[in-house]
Homo-oligomer: A and B are copies of this chain.
Amino acid sequence: MTLTTETPTPKPAEARPNAARGALRGSLQQLLAFASLIVIVIFFSIASPHFFTTANIISIFTAATVTGTLALGTTFVIITGGIDLSIGTGMILCGVMAGVFLTYWGWPLWAGVLGAVLFGALIGVVNGFNVAVLKIPPFIATLGMMLIAAGLALVISGTKPIYFKETPDFQSIMNLSIIPGVRFPLGVAVFIVLIVLSALLLSKTIVGRYTFSIGSNEAATALSGVNVVKWKIIIYTISGLFVGIAGVLSASRLSSAQPTGGMGLELEAIAAVVIGGTSLQGGKGSIVGTVIGALIMAVLTNGLRIISVPQEWQSVAVGLVILIAVYLDMLRRRSA
């Protein structure tokens, strides 16, 4: 539909270079966030000969895999303006469920893994229902779930680790070396696939668009005829799927379903997301940012250990680097 007016129409030719410039600036920003990471990597490479080795780089990726997977899923929730505190203990619970399915109930490997992942999705559905339908604030809804999941993991496992006696192959999911000679674990490959999938999901599909819309202005999105309740449940379910996958990966890595722990992991994952430039206010964020955030955290932790910084100083150093990295990021954005 066009209007006929006397005035000349704007020239689309004029619009294009601007658009290009905008896109360039966007990727430059991420390049710069990436630069923080590079600086840290260079620092540690100089400080220790053991840091920049194939084995250690793989160790870093391995360490980043579980938290990173959680961070990927929770990026969606955070972009809607929500938060998911249940990812840490939820992951533990999914690991325990994998143990129940495979060891106690003797399911075949694929079924047990699928079951555990879907169990994560179920946790997400419940969170989504509580947030979207019952309108419980996300912080509280997922805090409640965090406690419930922590308790259930203990109850269901009988407070004992579950070992994958029936399915010894389970541990290959994370540990199988897929490139002969360099110990490149399958789990890291899974993580990389998840990164690509979630990036596509966020930037190229309707879920992703609505994730941003809801986070930007939920009321306006609803009035535009978008079924916000439905989409929020879907988004929390996506986060739950990643929780399930993380549960399987972590249990596989430890060759056992540990019924405790997980608390604190949610803060680590959320930190990775926020360091990556996603705003807790909602409406802004990216998967690339989250991956960079997760890598910054993993590199820092690993590097400080490699150069043998006394443990009590490590947390001080991580805290300072996070502050500085995010501050520089802010500076750059304001000047951009």
Question: Contact residues of A with B, CB < 8 Å?
Answer: 85, 130, 134-137, 139-141, 143-152, 154-155, 159, 263-264, 267, 270-271, 274-275, 279-280, 311-320, 322-323, 326-327, 330, 334
Q: Are A326 and B280 in contact (CB under 8 A)?
A: no
3 closest Cβ contacts across the A-B interface? Answer: A147-B319, A151-B316, A154-B312
Please give me the residue from chain B that is nearest to A145 by CB atom. Answer: B319
- Indicate if the CB atoms of B274 and A327 lie closer than 8 Å: no
Check B148 against A320 for contact (C-beta < 8 Å).
yes
- Cα separation A147 to B320 with both chains bound (whole Å): 8
Of B85, B151, B270, B323, the residue contacting A314 (CB under 8 A) is B151
* Most B-side CB within 10 Å, residue of A139, A145, A152, A280: A139
| CB atoms of A326 and B151 under 8 A apart | no
Among A154, A263, A334, the most chain B Cβ lie within 10 Å of the Cβ of A154
User: Are A136 and B267 in contact (CB-based, < 8 A)?
Assistant: no
A332 CB → nearest B CB, Å? 12
Q: Knowing A264-B264, A330-B134, A330-B135 touch, does A140 contact B322 (C-beta < 8 A)?
A: yes
Bound form: Cα–Cα A272–B263 in Å: 18
A264 to B150, CA, bound (A): 14
Task: Kindly report which residue of chain B lies nearest to residue A333, judged by CB atoms.
Answer: B135
**Which chain B residue shows the least CB distance to A81?**
B281
What residues of chain B lie closer than 8 Å to A317, measured between beta carbons?
Answer: 151
**Of B315, B322, B323, which one neighbours A150 at CB under 8 angstroms?**
B315
Given contacts A270-B139, A280-B137, are A130 and B323 in contact (CB under 8 A)?
yes
Contact yes or no, A319 B280, CB < 8 A: no
Contact of A330 among B85, B136, B152, B263 (CB under 8 A): B136
| Smallest CB separation, A326 vs chain B (Å) | 5
CB distance from A270 to the nearest CB of B (A): 7
User: Contacts A140-B271, A144-B323; is A312 near B159 (CB within 8 Å)?
Assistant: yes
Given contacts A146-B319, A319-B145, contact A140 B326 (CB under 8 A): yes
A322: chain B residues at CB < 8 Å are 140, 143-144, 147
The chain B residue with its CB closest to the CB of A130 is B323
Would you call B136 and A327 a contact (CB within 8 A)?
yes
Q: What 18 additional pairs, Cβ within 8 angstroms, besides A140-B322, A144-B323, A151-B319? A: A130-B323, A135-B334, A137-B274, A139-B270, A139-B274, A140-B271, A140-B275, A140-B326, A143-B267, A143-B322, A144-B322, A147-B316, A147-B318, A147-B322, A148-B315, A148-B316, A151-B313, A151-B316
